[in-house]
């Protein structure tokens, strides 16, 4: 494994990658590679709906995301946490026509080899993380599941050792990531456990009172019995 560790959070959209990536960044004080797709989209000034219908635009966008991710990672020498890795290829396979070209690109194997030497957490989808707005939620869920499956195919195909994150609970997610990351050699930068309870003090013990005089021994009393005087 690469040391210091490079941490990747991969998976479909709305699986909690950004939330967890920020947690890792803050807890271990390491740089975070923000999702490049959003930056590329903003630069292209393209609307998402035109990305669904204009194939040339889709291909250009996916090619840009792929190249930018590789460039962003190579700019970091040490540890980092990356919000996504090769995930956009799952979208490219689903919406574009550049997959064959990407698969012939020699950078792909080199890039996947570097991902292989990182700590890869694969966040599985949960319906609860989708915005509930009636019909759309159902459509989105199908899309999420499709992308999730493609991310998994890519992980398996490139023989990337990955850690599935199945639980939705933030407590369990951070327990899992924290333990693995710390076993890989990183130490938390933030204070471990802040006090949540009011400080507890031992109650002040009573000052010992002088002891009451011991009753006279039985024999002494017997000596004084009137019958025996
Ligand atoms: N463990 C969790 N439990 C409950 N809600 C969560 C959890 N993790 C994230 N969320 C919420 O789910 C939504 C999606 O999370 P987030 O943006 O981190 O996902 P993402 O995988 O980065 O999505 P995208 O692919 O769209 O960037 C956010 O509203 C976030 O607050
Ligand atoms: Mg995100």
Is pLDDT above 70 for 202?
yes
Q: What is the pLDDT of residues 5-26, one digit of tens each?
A: 999 999 999 999 999 999 999 9
* Domain membership flag for residue 56: yes
Atom of ligand 1 nearest to the CA of 22: 18
For the Cβ of 117 lying below 6 angstroms from any atom of ligand 1, the answer is no
How many other CB atoms sit within 10 Å of the CB of residue 181?
A: 23
pTM value is: 0.85
**What secondary structure letter does DSSP report for 10?**
E
* Domain membership flag for residue 195: no
* Domain membership flag for residue 198: no
* Domain membership flag for residue 221: no
- Residue 199's pLDDT band (cuts 50, 70, 90): confident
| CB-count exposure of residue 187 (10 Å: 0-12, 13-18, 19+) | exposed
* Domain membership flag for residue 159: yes
* Domain membership flag for residue 20: yes
Number of domains in the chain: 1
* Domain membership flag for residue 227: no
Please report the beta strands in 55-205, taking only residues with DSSP state E, as ranges in sequence order.
80-83, 119-123, 162-165
Q: How far is the CA of 22 from the centre of ligand 1 (A)?
A: 11
Rg (alpha carbons) of the chain, rounded to whole number? 32
* Domain membership flag for residue 213: no
Q: How far is the CA of 15 from the centre of ligand 2 (A)?
A: 8
For the Cβ of 82 lying below 6 angstroms from any atom of ligand 1, the answer is no
Domain of 73, CATH number, reads 3.40.50.300
**Domain, as residue range, for 167:** 6-183
Query: What residues have CB less than 8 Å from 117, skipping those under 6 apart?
Result: 1, 2, 6
């Amino acid at each position: 494994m690469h040391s210091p560790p490079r941490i990747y959070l991969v998976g479909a959209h709305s699986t909690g990658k950004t939330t967890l990536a920020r947690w890792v960044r803050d807890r271990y004080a390491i740089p975070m590679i923000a999702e490049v797709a959003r930056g590329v989209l903003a630069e292209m000034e393209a609307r998402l709906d035109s990305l669904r219908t204009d194939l040339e635009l889709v291909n250009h966008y996916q090619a840009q995301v792929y190249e930018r991710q590789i460039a962003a990672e190579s700019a970091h020498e040490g540890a980092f946490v990356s919000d996504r890795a090769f995930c956009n290829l799952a979208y490219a396979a689903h919406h574009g026509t550049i997959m064959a070209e990407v698969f012939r690109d020699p950078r792909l194997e080199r890039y996947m080899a570097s991902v292989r030497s990182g700590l890869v957490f694969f966040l599985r989808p949960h319906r609860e993380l989708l915005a509930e707005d009636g019909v759309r939620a159902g459509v989105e869920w199908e899309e999420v599941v499709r992308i999730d499956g493609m991310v998994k195919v890519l992980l398996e195909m490139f023989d990337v050792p990955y850690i599935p994150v199945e639980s939705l609970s933030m407590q369990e997610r951070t327990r899992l990531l924290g333990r693995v990351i710390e076993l890989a050699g990183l130490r938390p930068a933030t204070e471990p456990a802040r006090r949540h309870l009011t400080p507890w003090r031992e109650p002040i013990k009573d000052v010992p009172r002088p002891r009451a005089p011991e009753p006279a021994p039985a024999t002494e009393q017997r000596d004084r019995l009137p019958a025996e005087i």
